[in-house]
Amino acid sequence: MKHLVTLVALVTLLALSQGCRRHASTVAPYGWPSINPAFDSLTVAAEDLYFIAADPDSLQSIVDSMRKIASGLKGEKAIDARACADYWLTYWNMIAGRSGEVKKIVDSVLNVHRNTPPPHNYM
């Protein structure tokens, strides 16, 4: 019985400590990687536009803000932020039937990928 009480107390403490983390690792409830509070709020706004089937052009200012924030980041956060912004821009251009714009974005992403050495080259 003593071990059961200790186990329950430990599990409760662990659960509470998870709720006290300063920054979430993902943007709830959507699962995007958490970048920073400003970027995360833009991610939620983009998702909300998706769910109300908004006009594709309404996303442009959100993506512009995402890219501005991404340009000031470094490392994995910058990569995640650019990927999120490019995803939304590509998705909404596909919805709007702008295949030329989609091709430009995909070519740009592929060009960056081709010119970036694999992570193991940084060691």
Domain ranges of the chain: 24-122
Q: Write the DSSP string, 17-72.
A: HHHT-SS-SEETTTTEEP--HHHHHHHHHHHHHHHTT--GGGGHHHHHHHHHHHHT
Distances in whole angstroms, Cα of residue 103 to Cα of each of 56, 59, 85, 110:
17, 18, 15, 10
Per-residue pLDDT tens digits for 10-54: 444 444 444 434 455 888 888 888 999 999 999 999 889 888 878
- pTM value? 0.62
